[in-house]
Amino acid sequence: MARWIVDGMNVIGSRPDGWWRDRPAAMRRLVAELERLADEGEDVTVVFEAKPRDPPRSDRIGVEFARRGGRDAADDEIARLVASDPDPASLRVVTSDRGLGARVRKHGAEVVGAAQLRRRLDELAAR
Residue pLDDT, tens place only, 72-102: 899 999 999 999 999 999 999 999 999 999 9
Quote the pLDDT of residue 71: 79
Quote the pLDDT of residue 102: 98
Query: What residue type is assigned to position 116 of the chain?
Result: Q
> If we measure between CA atoms, which residue out of 47, 35, 36 comes closest to residue 97?
47
The whole-model pTM stands at: 0.94
Cα 101 to its chain centre, rounded Å, is 13
Quote the pLDDT of residue 109: 98
**Residues 6+ positions from 50 with CB-CB distance below 8 Å:** 65, 66, 69, 73
- What's the mean per-residue pLDDT of the chain? 94
